[in-house]
Structure 1
Amino acid sequence: MKGRTLRRPASFLSASLMLLLSGCSNLDILNPKGSVGLAERDLIATSVWAMLIVVVPVILMTLFFAWRYRASNSNADYQPGWTHSTAVEVVVWTIPTLIILFLAVLTWRTTHELDPYRPLESQVKPINVEVVALDWKWLFIYPDLGIASVNQLAIPVGTPVNFRITSDTVMNSFFIPQLGGQIYAMAGMQTRLHLIADHAGDYAGTAANFSGKGFSDMKFRTLASSPEDFNAWVAKVRASSDRLDMDRYHAVSEPSEKDPVRYFSTVDPKLFNNIIARYNNGNVLDNVKDANCAPKG
C-alpha cells in the first residue's frame, strides 16, 4: 500500500464520528482522500472516543444522582457520616489513569508515524513542490519540471509529494485538510511536508494562520488527477507565455487579493533559495532540524 497507513481497532468508531458530523460541510479533515489524512482522522476519532469513556459516564451519573437523591425521594439513603469508599476510589483513579496512559502511548507513536518531515514509503517516485506564502496568495514551484503556478496545485494520484515551504511575508500555515498535515510557512526558513492523494479530486487548500486583510481569500485548489491528466496540466502550464524570473517575481509578490490562477512556463531554478536567502544575509539555511517547532499533523 502506498504511503503510511495507521491501522486501529477503533477505526469503525471514526466512521461513526464521520456519520455524526457529515452535515458539517467545512469539516474536510473528516473526509480524507490520502493515507496521511486518513491516519489523522482515525487519530482524532480514537482520542475522542477514549476521552468519552470518562465524559459520558460522568454526565449520566450527574443526571442519575440529581434524580436519585432529589428532596422528594424518601427512599434514598441519607448518610451524613459517609467519608470513604475504596471501590469508588479505585474506579475514580484507575480508569482516568489508564486512559491517560493509552493517550500517552498513542501520542508517542503517532508523533513519529505522522511526522511531516518523514518521507512517505512508496514504490512511486515522488514529485517535489516548493511553496511560497505571499500576500495573499500561494506560489507553487515545480523545480524538476521548471514550471510554476499561483493558487493552483496539481499532483498525480498515488504519487508522494515532497513539499518545501517558506514565506516571503508574515508567518502563515499551509494546509490541505483532505490530504492531511498542516505546517508553518516562515520567512527565511524552509519547513517540509510529505503528502499523498489516493483518490482523484479537486481539494481545497487554505492559509491556516491569520495574515492580514486578505487572509480570508488566501485559498488555492489542489487538483489530484491521473498521471496522464497531470502531464496534460504540465503541458498547459508550459504553453503559457509568462515566465517567472526574479524581476517578474517582484511583481507577482506584491500584495493582492483574490488572485486568479496563473501559470509560468519557466522558472528561475534558484528562485526558492533566493527567497529564503533574502532573510539570511544571502545564505540558504536547511531548517530540517531547526524548524521542527512547526505544528505537526
Structure 2
Amino acid sequence: MTPRPLPRRVRVASLSALGAIVGGTAIADTASFLDPLGPIAEFQRVELIWAAIMIFVAIAPVFVGVPWIMWRYRRSNRNAGYAPGWGHDNRLEAVMWGVPVVIIIALGIWLTQATFRIDPYRKIDIEMARSFDFDLSGPPVAVETVGLDWKWLHLYPEEGIATVGGMVIPVDRPVSMRLTTDTVMQSYMAPGLAGQIYAMPGMVTELNFIADRVGRSISGNTQYNGPGFARQRAQVISVPGDEYLLWLAEARNAPPLDDAAYARLAKSGTLDDARAEFDRPGEGPLIFSLPDDRLFTRIVARYTSGEAVAHENQPGSPFYDAETARLPDLPAAMAAHGHHAPVPDGGICTAPEPYSVANLEDLAE
C-alpha cells in the first residue's frame, strides 16, 4: 500500500529532525567502547580495564625486576653477592608459576560469567535492565542487517523502511538485530554499542544492544572482503524517541526498495557508488521504503535451496547481472504464517524460531 503524503507541517518538522539526525547537530561522535554509547559497551570497557589490571600483576615484576637486577649487579658494584653455583629456588619457582596460574583461573571464571551476561543472542529485557541498571522506554526495535560489498543494508521490517550506510535507533529502546550477508562472510561491529558478530550467507546470527544516551557510533566490517573493505563503515545514530518517530514518518515516503532496486543495490560498490547508481546525491544514510517485509528471508533463502547460486545471480561475482538477478520467492504457507526471517539449522548460528529454512517444504505442503 502506497503511504499517503504527510501534511506540510509534519513534513517540515520531519525534514528538520532528519537533517539534525543525519547532520549530527548536537550529537557527540564515538567510535570506541572506551567512550560507550550504551550499557553493553560500558560493561565491556569495565571488563577490559579490570582484565588489564589483573594481567599487569603478572608482568609488573618484569618491569620492576629487570632494572633492579641491572643496577644491583652492575660491574662497578663490588657489594653484590656472587653465586656462580646457584640454579634453583623453590620459593621463587612457586611465585613465578603460581601467580600466573591463579590469574588465569580467576580470569577464566570471571570472563566466562561476563560472556554469558552479555551474550549477543541474549534479549534485552526488564531483568537485564535491572541487572545493568539502565532504563527501558519501549519494545525492541527489529533490525535485519545484510552485508553487501561494500556497504551495510539495514531493514526495519516492522516499520517498512530500509537504510544503507547507517541506521537510526531510539534512546532507551533495545535493538534486536539479525544479520546475514548476500556476498562473502563478513563481521559486524559497532564498538560504541556492542561487540563483534560474524555474518555468513545462508545463515543468520543475532546481536542485541541498546543506547542509553543520544550520540553516534561508527559500525564497520572487521572481516576483509575486497578493495572497498576500508570504506564499509556505517553510522549508528541514537536519538530521542520523538525524533525517531519523525524520522520514521519521513522515511516511509522514500523511494521503494523493491526487487529491481535491491538487485541494483547489491552490485559491488560503496555507499557513494550506491548514491550514484540511484542518482541520489547527498550525505548520511541512503533511505528507502520497504514494500516487502520478507526481503531478509528471501536473501537468506537464496543460499538454502541446495543448488549453487548462478554467477549472474550472485552479488559480488564479476559476472553479476543486476538486470536479471532476482531473489527467490517464499512458499505461500510461510507467507501466510507471517514469518519474516527463518533461521537455517547450522550449529551456533542457529537461533530459536518457529520455522526454519530446513522445513520450508513441510510448510509448503
Fold-level similarity (TM above 0.5): yes
CA shift at 1:196, angstroms? 0.5
Q: Which of residues 290, 295, 306 in structure 2 aligns to 1:271? A: 295
CA, structure 1 residues 196+27, in 2 after alignment: closer, same or farther (shift >3 Å)? closer
Please tell me the residue identity of whatever aligns with 1:291: C
| 8 Å CA contact 1:155, 1:225 repeated in 2 | yes
Secondary structure (helix, strand or coil) at the match of 2:33 reads helix
Q: Residue 195 of structure 2 corresponds to which residue in structure 1? A: 181
1:155-184 per-residue CA deviation (whole Å, 9 max, x = no partner) reads: 000111000000001111111110021111
Q: Residue 146 of structure 2 corresponds to which residue in structure 1? A: 132
Q: Residue 280 of structure 1 corresponds to which residue in structure 2? A: 304
Question: Partners in 2 of 1:70 and 1:26 — Cα distance?
Answer: 49
CA shift at 1:290, angstroms? 3.1
1:252-287 per-residue CA deviation (whole Å, 9 max, x = no partner) reads: 111122435321123312110000000010784345
Q: When the two structures are superposed, what TM-score results if normalisation uses the length of structure 2?
A: 0.69
1:82 aligns with 2:86: yes
1:220 aligns with 2:234: yes
Question: Partners in 2 of 1:48 and 1:288 — Cα distance?
Answer: 35
1:246 aligns with 2:275: no
1:133-160 per-residue CA deviation (whole Å, 9 max, x = no partner) reads: 1111111101111111111201000111
Q: Which of residues 63, 66, 69 in structure 1 aligns to 2:70? A: 66
| 8 Å CA contact 1:148, 1:267 repeated in 2 | no
What stretches of structure 1 of length at least 5 have no aligned partner?
A: 1-24, 293-297
Question: Partners in 2 of 1:72 and 1:27 — Cα distance?
Answer: 52
Question: Partners in 2 of 1:211 and 1:235 — Cα distance?
Answer: 35
Question: Partners in 2 of 1:287 and 1:245 — Cα distance?
Answer: 28
The farther-off stretch of 268-277 and 251-260 is 251-260
Q: Residue 153 of structure 1 corresponds to which residue in structure 2? A: 167
Task: Specify which structure has the higher proportion of strand.
Answer: 1
Secondary structure (helix, strand or coil) at the match of 2:99 reads helix
Report the identity percentage.
Answer: 35
Please tell me the residue identity of whatever aligns with 1:151: G
CA shift at 1:27, angstroms? 6.4
Question: Partners in 2 of 1:225 and 1:53 — Cα distance?
Answer: 41
| 8 Å CA contact 2:153, 2:162 repeated in 1 | yes
1:120 aligns with 2:124: yes
Question: Partners in 2 of 1:289 and 1:158 — Cα distance?
Answer: 32
Q: Residue 3 of structure 1 corresponds to which residue in structure 2? A: none
Please tell me the residue identity of whatever aligns with 1:154: V
Secondary structure (helix, strand or coil) at the match of 1:30 reads coil
CA shift at 1:215, angstroms? 1.0
Question: Partners in 1 of 2:345 and 2:107 — Cα distance?
Answer: 30
Q: Residue 35 of structure 1 corresponds to which residue in structure 2? A: 39
The alignment yields a C-alpha RMSD, in angstroms, of: 1.9
Please tell me the residue identity of whatever aligns with 1:91: V
Question: Partners in 2 of 1:43 and 1:208 — Cα distance?
Answer: 21
Q: Residue 54 of structure 2 corresponds to which residue in structure 1? A: 50
Please tell me the residue identity of whatever aligns with 2:148: L
| 8 Å CA contact 1:133, 1:166 repeated in 2 | yes
Q: Residue 269 of structure 2 corresponds to which residue in structure 1? A: 256
Structure 2 matches for 1:3-18, cutoff 5 A?
none
CA shift at 1:107, angstroms? 2.2
| 8 Å CA contact 2:199, 2:205 repeated in 1 | yes
Please tell me the residue identity of whatever aligns with 1:239: N
1:202-255 per-residue CA deviation (whole Å, 9 max, x = no partner) reads: 221111111101111111111101110100110121121x11122221111111
Q: Residue 221 of structure 2 corresponds to which residue in structure 1? A: 207
The farther-off stretch of 227-236 and 104-113 is 104-113
| 8 Å CA contact 1:192, 1:288 repeated in 2 | no
CA, structure 1 residues 220+166, in 2 after alignment: closer, same or farther (shift >3 Å)? same
1:49-87 per-residue CA deviation (whole Å, 9 max, x = no partner) reads: 111101121121011111111122110011122233332
The farther-off stretch of 267-276 and 82-91 is 82-91
What stretches of structure 2 of length at least 5 have no aligned partner?
A: 1-28, 127-135, 276-284, 306-327, 331-341, 351-365
1:232 aligns with 2:236: no
CA, structure 1 residues 136+265, in 2 after alignment: closer, same or farther (shift >3 Å)? same
Question: Partners in 2 of 1:218 and 1:163 — Cα distance?
Answer: 18
The aligned length equals 267
Secondary structure (helix, strand or coil) at the match of 1:47 reads helix
CA shift at 1:95, angstroms? 1.2
1:26-46 per-residue CA deviation (whole Å, 9 max, x = no partner) reads: 961211111100111111111
1:290 aligns with 2:348: yes
